[in-house]
Amino acid sequence: MYFQIFGVYFFFFVLEKLFLLSSRKDLYFFTRFEKLFRVGGSALNSGGYRKITKKGDVHMLSMKKTGFVSVLGMSLVLTACGGDDTGGDNDDGVTTLHFWGGVPAENGPQEVVDEWNENNPDVQVEYSRYVNDDEGNMRVNTALQTGESIDILKSHSPNHLEQRVDSDFLLDLADYAGEFDIEGSVGPAAERWKMNDTYYAVPTNTNALFIMLNEDALEENGLEVPETWTWEEVAEYANELGSDFPYGYAIDHDTIHGIIQNALIDDGFVDENGESNLDHPNVREGLALYYDMMHEDGVMPVLSEQVATNMQPEQMFIDGEVGMYQAGAWRLRMLNDLDEYPRDFNVAFAPYPHFEGQSMPAHHVEDAMSIVAETDHPEEAWEFIEWYANEGMIHLAPGGRVPASEDGPAEEARELIVEGAEDTYNLDSLNSVYEIENTEMIVDPPYQVLDNITQELEMFFLGNNDLDTTIERMVNFHNDYLERNR
Amino acid sequence: MKWMKRQQMIGYLFILPSIIGVSIFFLFPLLFSLVLSFTNWSGPSGRGTEFIGMENFQRILGDEVFRQAFFNNFLYLIHVPIAVFLGFLVAVFLNRSVYMKNALRAVFFLPYLISPIAIGFVWMLLFHPSEGPINVMLMSLGVDNPPGWLSSTGSSMYAIIIMSAWQIMGFNIIIYLAALQGVPRELEEACSMDGAKKWQITRYVTFPFVSPITLFLLIIGVANAFKNFGLIQAVTGGGPGNSTTILPLYVYQTAFRYYELGYASTIAIILFLVIFAITLLQWLGQKKWVHY
């Protein structure tokens, strides 16, 4: 570093000498130089230009100017060398682990970290939150790429994890997990996060998928809370409720592709020949069903209108404008908060529907924790992750997060997720949603395919394209994608 | 001769810092993205990147989203002349003695300062297909089927054009107001003495006087229309379907959502060529109507 400073300083030193020692001819240069500066500038002293052509003044000027340049150069060099990071170890033997995740600190992670830090004075964990959108994830990737000190990273989508694994940003947990059997304790749903036949991340959270029902309205219409049901039955319920509500059924617009994931749950997005499976009969059936619900029966908001008007189905459900709202455990935080979101009805829960004769979709396991490859303390990081998955998770329960690991306090968490509004829920139905059987894990297509599906569905539900065209276009795009990445 | 050379050397030394800056922050990325456009770089770290020749350019030819984004972008350009024309009229108006001149000037400039996200949300309310003030007004005027604005593929781009024109108009007004101060009063007075009407003065005296500014605003506006997509991202995200996807938005998605950086660079290079060509056309066309 000293050598660099010296080198740059020497450069400016030579520059300075060049001017000071230069002969009279330099005057020519400087007068022109000054002229340049004065053209268009303020004419405060229009005679100044003539004055500085005197030899003495020019020397004063050049010294001032080059002196300034030297100082500027020095400061540039100093700032360039000042960014050295001091790593994770402090002098007193305390290891600091940097933990990045997408959950706001006040929704649980801070409490988890505080509890750990209290019990582990030698290994202190610092939590930083990143915003879990495209831009936020790009920042995480940039940070990983440039070697910023991150030791533990929580990924919120298998697509993002895959990008990070392909870039060798994360460690293979097989080398650290030891006795902790990821698939054994999380169950088959963990496979959503399996890459290259191994695990680079432990999913920590079971994010239950369900449909919230306005129980009071169900009773008035003489409808049972279903324990399992098909999409046909969902449409029937929606039509029954459609007379009481502006909309019998609503979903978050960004989960519209869920019906296709659901349709392909047993057969997958790609068939055995490596071709797109998007022309599967179930896809056709599901899309036709949604189309009818939107246009024929008018019991579901039309997709493009929902997007364009920024419609909030969760708020509409609470306000009694939607009879059934397809969501998941992440919405429980809002429903528990009766002060902020008062409602005058009880909520029952039905599992995610399935197609006739097909498996039911398993609950998502999410919030996958990884060890960053650049870390100096992989063992400590793993210790924290294991503790987090099994014990720390309880602090995240009030946000609807139930530990995915079977050694975790799932029962206790399931009580905490409804805390504050227990009396307004049909808790039996919630518990049976958590205990559904015959499930199969849903597959996440790559973002390119997912975005194309969303666009085609928008066109379809607008009525711009018919069903056959829509399916043909989706299949073509998917096959092109598969061809390119074969 | 010798000292001349030394003078030149010294000159170069002086501009060295900015040359270094421009090379690092401008030339290098430009050339790098040119190189990238011939590779299959994908993923954040670009592991396993190979040169694949013209494959990316071939892919563009068959890429329907690109084609649509390309045409959308030209449609989107319409907001630039609209905003320039309206900006000119408002500036001429504000330049005369108008009641509450300063307050009005501030009001017109405000949209330019507000974040596109906030603007987007307000306009989403205004454009609501059934309850928004715009459609309610249209319906009360007797329009039976008012456009769905943001919720239909046919009208979404026009809604975006209206929003964008409204937003950049404030900037145009401020620039025009400054330019109008340079138009000599005597000339206008002489014209009115000769019996010219107000609109004739505006058309044949004022407008030619500020034509260099018009050219400047057009060039800046067009370049920005090929660069900024914040408003579209906030309001429609490119939808419904792909009806409001424009090239910079597509580049952004390809690069930072799909991490296909090679292909994104290819699109960016095409984008660069398009902007360059349009600017060149405007530059050549100026001889016909710009007076210095």
pLDDT, tens digit, for every residue of A230-259?
Answer: 999 999 999 999 888 999 999 999 889 999
Chain A CB contacts of B242 below 8 Å: 455
Cα B282 off chain centre by? 14
Q: Do B256 and A135 touch (CB under 8 A)?
A: yes
Q: What is the DSSP letter of B51?
A: B
Q: How many domains does chain B have?
A: 2
What are all long-range contacts of A358-361, with beta carbons under 8 Å and residues at least 24 apart? A358/A263, A358/A265, A358/A266, A358/A282, A359/A265, A359/A266, A359/A438, A359/A439, A359/A440, A360/A228, A360/A436, A360/A437, A360/A438, A360/A439, A360/A440, A361/A209, A361/A261, A361/A262, A361/A265, A361/A439, A361/A440, A361/A441, A361/A442
Residue from B218, B225, B199 nearest B283 by CA: B218
Question: Is the link from the previous residue into B240 a cis peptide, with omega within 30 of 0?
Answer: yes
pLDDT grade for A89, boundaries at 50, 70 and 90: low
In a domain, B44, yes or no: no
* A381 and A473 both lie in a single domain: no
The pLDDT score that the predictor gives to residue A33 is 39
Torsion angle of the four alpha carbons A389, A391, A393, A396, in this order, in degrees rounded to the nearest 10: -170
Looking at the structure, tell me whether residues B26 and B86 fall in a common domain.
Answer: no
- Do residue B249 and residue B134 come from a single domain? yes
Which chain B residue is nearest to residue A470, measuring alpha carbons?
Answer: B241
What's the confidence (pLDDT) of residue A91? 59
- Tell whether A133 is within 8 A of chain B (Cβ): no
CA dist A91 to A83, A124, A149, A318, Å? Answer: 19, 14, 17, 54
At A60 the pLDDT is 40
Q: Which residues of B touch A144 (CB under 8 A)?
A: 44
For residues B109-124, give the mean pLDDT: 88
In sequence order, which residues have a C-beta less than 8 Å from that of residue A368 and are 6 or more positions away? A154, A155, A156, A158, A161, A193, A201, A202, A203, A204
Distance from CA of A164 to the nearest CA of B (A): 7
Cβ A168–B45 below 8 Å, yes or no? yes
Assess whether pLDDT exceeds 60 at residue A207: yes
The confidence score (pLDDT) of residue A288 equals 95
Whether B3 sits inside 8 A of A141 (CB atoms) is no
Higher confidence at residue A22 or residue B166? Answer: B166
| Chain B nearest-CA residue for A303 | B151
For the segment A125-184, what is each residue's pLDDT rounded down to a tens digit?
999 999 998 889 989 998 998 888 899 999 999 999 998 998 889 999 988 887 788 888
Q: What's the pLDDT score for residue B3?
A: 84
ipTM of the complex as predicted: 0.85
**pLDDT at position A326, please?**
93
- pLDDT of B203 above 60: yes
Taking the CA of residue A32 and the nearest CA in chain B, the distance in Å comes to 11
**A305 with B121: Cβ contact below 8 A:** no
A348 and A457, same domain (yes or no): yes
Domain that holds residue B275: 64-289
Q: Between B261-289 and B247-256, two packed helices, what is the crossing angle to 10 degrees?
A: 160
Using 50, 70 and 90 to split pLDDT, how confident is the model at A42? very low
B135 and B32 belong to one structural domain: no
Instruction: Determine, yes or no, domain membership for A260.
Output: yes
Which domain CATH number covers B246? 1.10.3720.10
Q: Are residues B104 and B196 in the same domain?
A: yes
DSSP-derived 3-state class of residue A263: helix
Instruction: Quote the DSSP letter at residue B81.
Output: H
Write down the pLDDT at residue A93: 80
DSSP per-residue letters across A333-378: HHHH-TTTS--SS-EEEEEPPB-TTSPEEPPEEEEEEEEBTT-S-H
Please indicate, yes or no, whether residues A389 and A444 belong to a single structural domain of this protein. Answer: no
B268: pLDDT strictly greater than 60: yes
Same domain, residue pair A358 and A368: no
Report the distance separating Cα B101 and Cα B95, nearest Å. 8
Residue of chain A whose Cα is closest to the Cα of B148: A305
**Confidence check: pLDDT of B48 > 90:** no
Taking an 8 Å cut-off on Cβ atoms, the answer to whether B241 and A309 are in contact is: no
pLDDT of A185 > 90? The answer is: no
How many folded domains does chain A comprise?
A: 3
- pLDDT of A73: 45
Same domain, A299 and A376: no
Query: Does the pLDDT value for residue A13 go beyond 60?
Result: no
Q: State whether B97 and B32 are in the same domain.
A: no
Average pLDDT, chain A: 81
pLDDT surpasses 50 at A81? no
A71, pLDDT greater than 60: no
* Of the listed ranges A146-150, A258-262, A278-282, the one predicted with least confidence: A146-150
On whether the CB atoms of residues A364 and A247 are closer than 8 A, the answer is: no
Task: List Cα–Cα distances, B97 to A97, B104, B111, B192, B198, in angstroms.
Answer: 66, 12, 23, 17, 14
Residue A38 sits in which domain range?
2-81
CB contact under 8 A, A308 and B3: no
Whether A258 is covered by a domain: the verdict is yes
pLDDT band at A284 (very low <50, low <70, confident <90, very high): very high
B279 domain residue, yes or no: yes
Q: Do A309 and B129 touch (CB under 8 A)?
A: yes
